[in-house]
Structure formats: structure tokens, C-alpha cells
Structure 1
């Protein structure tokens, strides 16, 4: 049997502790399947005295992650600290600079510095593995980087943030407001005390940028994504979607177009009978559409200690099974110098159309005016209906729901501007895209 694979772990929170536990509990099984033992020889964490329920007595403690990466006698550096900057960035860069393999679950780091770090790994003959960075336990990185080699991918999309999916699911099933569901998510530990990174869509955007690079062979462009969060989704939107046969999900979508690559993160209505519509709670789902394989949909736990640790362990096992001199799979599926510059496509005609909710004063001619403004902007309406709890004779504002056929983004926005100028709108309109996934 080959010499043991020596690993160092930076970060011993929920994921790090779970990883240590799995490695220790399944030591013999892993040695058999990997052809060599996997030993934890170095660790670092902010609080050395904390009881994590695992035995770390045989590991050397380092004061910080950079010191571990620079000085520890290890074959693999595992980064589980998070954050796009230091110490994670400096530590990973240091380890790769020594030719040490790196495994990370840090999507923010990869979105900001992934191409640079991948280039260092290539130059030093090291691996940069990051299965756990996107969709937790779902093996989407390996699928795109290795299993689907030869496929031309046209679209990748999915539910990539468990916090948002939990909130939207709870709003629908219990009829609660966004605010109430967010508080419950925070109580259960699904949302941070400051949840903005999740609910504004930034977390999904980081993950989507990584998938885009793998799917289309382009440089990462995390700052070039159309972004909408879920903070403006109301229970009225949830109910209206249900009446129309849809559920609302926060999707990240990347697709190839004639003018470039389109990346967007936003609330989306998906048909109730589609598979992705049935993905509830903190579960994640990623769909890939390609020319050879067709449609592939992967569903599974997107976060949590065991799910993320399982993905990290899979990356470590791949390294343990590799042998000196073997050719490594590039971090983003192809060498960094072969990655294409990212070319942003304009968001053009949207296949599924749009849901538009307008609150208007109740007066004669409003319906006709709305229909006229839509027609003037070349928008074909699938339906237009009044959807209000107030009786027709009430002085309260009335709600009008429109569903469009496929149309251009700018046409919808121009029509909304024209409707606003008429003076009968109350508050801001709600506009939600409709997707009709092929995977059903």
C-alpha cells in the first residue's frame, strides 16, 4: 500500500469537525478504497480549546492558516474558513505555491480568485478541487469537469441557496410573510444574523459564476451577473403563482446565446408539475442541458456539515487515488490559458414570458390602458385578469395580473415605464420571469 496521504485542515467549524469525524470513523474503509491511508497531521482554528467532539491529539496545531500552508508536512491543504480574502486567499495561494494539493469549499474565494489560483496549481503540478463549493453534496463540479467531457452545454441552472429555498417554501406552505419566514430560518440556523448575502442572491451568483466557467469554458465573471434577490417576493405573489399553476424559486441561470453568455440570478416561476418545482426546503438542485446527454437534473442537500464534508472527502479521495506523474484534470476543465474571455450577452427574448402584478386605482379604462401599453411595446399577453380580495365597488386599489408570451426584457421594462406615466399605479409593479424547464 502507498504511503499515507497527509492532510492539513484550516477551519474546524461544522464542516471541518464533520470531516474529521468521517475520516476517523471510516479510516479502514477509506484506506481500502483509496489504496492508501488518509491521515490528519495538521490543523488550525480560531479556538483551540473548543470541544468539537473529535480527537485531534495526533495532529500538529498551527497558529494560523497561512503558517499551516507554509510549514506543515502535508500533501493536501483543506480550506474550510470561507471568505474571498485573507486568510483563505493567502493560505490557499501559499499551499499551491509549494505544490501542495488544495481542497476548498469556498465559492467566494473561487469567484474572486479562481482563475489565478488554478494557474498556480497548473504551474506547480498541484490539484485545486472544490466540489463542495457549489450545491453542497451534489457532485455537479465533477459532472461538468469530467463526466460530461465532449458535450456541448447550452444551459445550466438551478436552486443553489438553501436559505432562499427554505423561505419561499415556508411562505407557500404556511401562508406566512417573507419577514416571518426569514426570522424562522435564522432561528433554525438556515440564515445568518445578517442574511443579505443569501437573500439578495449573491451566494447563488458566486456559485453560478463557477458553473458558467465549467460549462462554457470561459473565465469567471462573478461581477457580470444580472442579480435580483427574494426580498420583494410577497405572499400575494406566492398565491398568484399557485393560482396560475406555478411555484416561485430563486434560480441561477447561465445559457449560451448567439451574442455571448447570459448569467442571471432572480426569482422565477416554474410550472408546478416540473421536477425542480418540487425541490423544497434547504435542498438544492442543478440542471444541465447538453447536446449528447440531453437534460440532467441532480437534486440533493446543498449545505450542512455532513453533506459538505462528504463533497470535501470525495475531492480528498480523488487525490489519494491519483499517483505521482499522473496528468491532473485542470481546475476549470481546461488549462487556464485555454479559457475564453467572458462575453456578456444581452438578456433578450425570454422563453417563458413574464408574470406582472400591478396594483391600480379602480377606475374606468385602466384595463384598456394596460393592454394598449403592452401592445405598443410588442408584448403579446397570454392572460390579463383582476386578482383582488376587495370587491369591485370598493375604493381600495385593485390588483391586476398579467402573464406574457415570450418577449424581450427591454420591452417589458419599457411597458412598465409607460404604465407608470399614466398615473393609476399604486406602489411598484412586481415582475417575475417564468421558466419552463426541459427537465420535468
Structure 2
């Protein structure tokens, strides 16, 4: 075993960073045995140096992150501060000064991963980011390496624990959205401002990363269609149950049938109770991968939290350190296909549409005519009426999203349609 330690600089010491530091210290001997050399925490950059951080040598604490990554003797920089800047500048500076990088920064990778990849390649360094998607679940490396010889056609999953907890509580207890959100907040699953989670921004960033890896093409955050889940109601769950379904906030990345384009989207969807993703409960994550040779694979586990995310970070640290000892680098960006990302209007799927309509003869015929005029075929219709008011639930066959949007706009203009109560896609069939 090499005696000179490999030095690690840690940027950020919050929930995840503190766990990375703790595990590096308590499992130092095991990590050294697995890597083939000792690994040493050489510096920790923080914003609040006066905060007590148990188990970390105070002499390692600094507020000058730039100076830390410029030291020249650092082998690996672990970035867990998040956000775009200064994370991007610190990562590229680390590459320039001879360090490889392990990051958990989904937002930066989704927005500007190409810049980071290019900088890593230019300076002969590694960029690893297993912790950026689905916490402890091994997912990035299987997609980048284990399935590198296969053709992946679809990646669909639950990649945000907060939203899954909320939807699971709505389904299992009958709670409304706000009640379930309040419980998630009280238990620490939801932030004080849950917007990034419940509006789908977090999941969209992860979808961009997954699509890029799966389809060997560049997919940015702006390419991902996004809908939040704040409008999902108890009535939607009741309708889902009648169809033998539940509701999940899904990230879906697909290769077009002709193989000439890809799509990436995040939105609530009904999925059959028979689908493996339907049984994912509480704050867990799961990702379903469909590949030509391997078939269907599912990756499941805790998708967030200090210890699970730190596990993914340290797995990358071990891999990067092994590469440095072997004077090699791992896989970089694979974007050779250069496939275009199609707009949401091109996506073909089924839909569940709930309408508030007048309870009188001829309404169903009018509604059916609108669907036919826009080329959207109806699968089933369910109608309930009372005191001059009625609800009409229509489930379609597969149709393009653009056709469905046109159908809904035309329905809103009918005098007999009082309102469109909900529109939800049906996936996983």
C-alpha cells in the first residue's frame, strides 16, 4: 500500500458534508484498504467557521474555498455546497490545479454539465456525481458503465422523496395536499420553502442528468418539460383508485420510436397498482430502466438524507482515488448521438380528464365530438350527475400531447362544460 495519503478537500459541511467527514474519519482504515492508499481530509470550506462541528479538526476549517482548491496538493475535491455559483467556478478551478471532483450538485450538472465535462477532460481529471441523483441508490454508474454496451430506451422513476412522501400520504390516508405537506414539513422531509420539490424543479434537474447519460446526448434543464404536483387533489386519487391506479410525480426520459430524438419530462401521473413504482412508499426513490438487451431493471432505495447521500459521495471518492493511483480517469461525457430533444407536444401517452359539465342530454355527444375532431380516441367514459351538475371523466387511448392540449382548449369553450377539473397523464401500461 502506498504510504503517502491521498488528500481530499471538502466544500460544504452541512447535512451531507458533515456525514462525509465523519465516515472518512471513522472508516479511514477500511477506505485505505479499498483504495490502496490512505485518504486524508485536508481541508473543509464553510461559510460559518464558528459553528461547532464535532469530529472535525478545527484547524481544517476555512472560509476561503478558492484557496483550498488551488493548493495543488489536493487529489480530490468533494463539492456539496449546491447551487450554480460559486460551485461552478470552484470545480473548474479544482480541475485547473490538478484535482478530480466528486459532486452532488444536480442543479449545476443539469444546467451546465457540458462545461464541467470539458474542463475535466482538458485537465485530465475525473468528474463523478453519483450523489446528484437518487441519493444512495447506485444509478449513475450502472447507466454510465454497467449498461454502456446496451441501448436504453426509457428511464422512468420517482426521484424526489419529499413529493413521494406527500403523494403517498394523500393516497394512504385520504389527506389533502396541504395537510400532507404540513406532515412532511414537520417530519423534516420538506424544506420551509418546498417549491423546488413540489413544483418539480429538483426532479427536472435529475431527469436532465439521467436522459443525458441514458441516451448519450446533451440534455439541459431547460429541455425538460415540468409540471408540479400542487394541484393534485383527493378527488384525483379517488379517480385513480377506480382505475386501479395511484398517483406519483414521475421523471420520464424516453427515446423516440424511430430513435431520432428524445424527450424528458416531469409531471404527476397515474400508474397501475401492478407497476413496480406504484409500491414505492414514504420518502423512498425508485428508477425503472428499460434497455434492449437487459430488459427491465429497477433501482430502489433512500433518495436523500445525510448518510445515504454521503454513501454515494464516498463511493465516488473511492473510485476517483483508485483512478489516481492507476494514473487513469473514469468515463467522461458521452454525447456522441447528438439527438434533439423533442417538445412535450410530441409525447404520446394516455390521459385522464375530469370535466364539470351541465347535467342534460347531448353533453356527452358534444364532448365526444371535440375529442374526435382533434384525433384523440376515447377509451372509457364515466359520468355522475346531480341537481343539474355533473362530472364527466374521460380516459383516452394514446395520443400526442399537442392533440390533447388542443382538445382541452376546445372543451373549455363549450357552453355545457363548466370547467376542466383535472388533467392527468396515465403511464406505466
TM-score interval (norm. to shorter): over 0.9
Q: Once the 2 structures are TM-superposed, how far is the Cα of residue 433 of structure 1 from its aligned partner? A: 1.0
Give the corresponding residue for 1:355: 352
- Residue 349 of structure 1 contacts residue 407 of structure 1 at CA under 8 Å; is this kept in 2? no
Which whole-Å CA distance do the structure 2 matches of 1:164 and 1:93 have between them?
33
Give the corresponding residue for 1:42: 43
- Residue 355 of structure 2 contacts residue 391 of structure 2 at CA under 8 Å; is this kept in 1? yes
Which whole-Å CA distance do the structure 2 matches of 1:72 and 1:242 have between them?
59
Q: What RMSD, in angstroms, separates the aligned Cα atoms of the two structures? A: 1.8
- Residue 30 of structure 1 contacts residue 37 of structure 1 at CA under 8 Å; is this kept in 2? yes
1:19-418 aligned within 5 A: 19-57=20-58, 59-71=59-71, 73-84=73-84, 86-257=85-256, 258=258, 259-324=260-325, 326-332=327-333, 334=334, 339-347=336-344, 352-387=349-384, 392-395=385-388, 397-418=389-410
Describe the shift of the 1:427–1:120 C-alpha distance in structure 2 as closer, same or farther (beyond 3 A). Answer: same
For residues 138-178 of structure 1, give each alpha carbon's deviation from its aligned partner in whole angstroms, at most 9, with x where no partner exists.
11110111111111111112111111111111111111111
Q: Once the 2 structures are TM-superposed, how far is the Cα of residue 10 of structure 1 from its aligned partner? A: 0.9
Which whole-Å CA distance do the structure 1 matches of 2:261 and 2:92 have between them?
31
Three-state SS of the structure 1 residue aligned to 2:369 is: helix
Which whole-Å CA distance do the structure 1 matches of 2:150 and 2:416 have between them?
51
State the TM-score, normalizing by the size of structure 2.
0.95
Q: Once the 2 structures are TM-superposed, how far is the Cα of residue 81 of structure 1 from its aligned partner? A: 0.5
- Residue 83 of structure 2 contacts residue 108 of structure 2 at CA under 8 Å; is this kept in 1? yes
Number of residues of Structure 1 aligned to a counterpart in Structure 2 = 426
Three-state SS of the structure 1 residue aligned to 2:223 is: coil
Which whole-Å CA distance do the structure 2 matches of 1:342 and 1:62 have between them?
44
Q: Once the 2 structures are TM-superposed, how far is the Cα of residue 320 of structure 1 from its aligned partner? A: 2.1
Q: Once the 2 structures are TM-superposed, how far is the Cα of residue 429 of structure 1 from its aligned partner? A: 3.8
Three-state SS of the structure 2 residue aligned to 1:287 is: strand
Q: Once the 2 structures are TM-superposed, how far is the Cα of residue 234 of structure 1 from its aligned partner? A: 0.9
Q: Once the 2 structures are TM-superposed, how far is the Cα of residue 363 of structure 1 from its aligned partner? A: 2.5
Give the corresponding residue for 1:435: 427
Q: Once the 2 structures are TM-superposed, how far is the Cα of residue 324 of structure 1 from its aligned partner? A: 4.4
- Runs of at least 5 residues in structure 1 that lack an aligned partner in the other structure: none
Describe the shift of the 1:239–1:64 C-alpha distance in structure 2 as closer, same or farther (beyond 3 A). Answer: farther
Describe the shift of the 1:319–1:378 C-alpha distance in structure 2 as closer, same or farther (beyond 3 A). Answer: same
Q: Once the 2 structures are TM-superposed, how far is the Cα of residue 19 of structure 1 from its aligned partner? A: 1.1
Which whole-Å CA distance do the structure 1 matches of 2:279 and 2:223 have between them?
30
Three-state SS of the structure 1 residue aligned to 2:83 is: coil
Q: Once the 2 structures are TM-superposed, how far is the Cα of residue 346 of structure 1 from its aligned partner? A: 4.3
Three-state SS of the structure 2 residue aligned to 1:9 is: strand
- Runs of at least 5 residues in structure 2 that lack an aligned partner in the other structure: none
Q: Once the 2 structures are TM-superposed, how far is the Cα of residue 271 of structure 1 from its aligned partner? A: 0.5
Three-state SS of the structure 1 residue aligned to 2:415 is: coil
For residues 280-338 of structure 1, give each alpha carbon's deviation from its aligned partner in whole angstroms, at most 9, with x where no partner exists.
12111111111111111101110000110000000001122224454322333x3xxx5
Which whole-Å CA distance do the structure 1 matches of 2:50 and 2:342 have between them?
51
- Residue 353 of structure 2 contacts residue 420 of structure 2 at CA under 8 Å; is this kept in 1? no
Moved more, 151-160 or 349-358: 349-358
Which whole-Å CA distance do the structure 1 matches of 2:249 and 2:300 have between them?
15
Q: Once the 2 structures are TM-superposed, how far is the Cα of residue 416 of structure 1 from its aligned partner? A: 1.4
The ranges of structure 1 where at least 4 consecutive aligned residues each deviate by more than 3 angstroms after the TM superposition are 323-327, 338-342, 346-352
Which whole-Å CA distance do the structure 2 matches of 1:406 and 1:92 have between them?
44
For residues 87-134 of structure 1, give each alpha carbon's deviation from its aligned partner in whole angstroms, at most 9, with x where no partner exists.
211111110111201011000111122111111111111111100000
Moved more, 4-13 or 316-325: 316-325
- Residue 49 of structure 2 contacts residue 62 of structure 2 at CA under 8 Å; is this kept in 1? no
Which whole-Å CA distance do the structure 2 matches of 1:140 and 1:174 have between them?
31
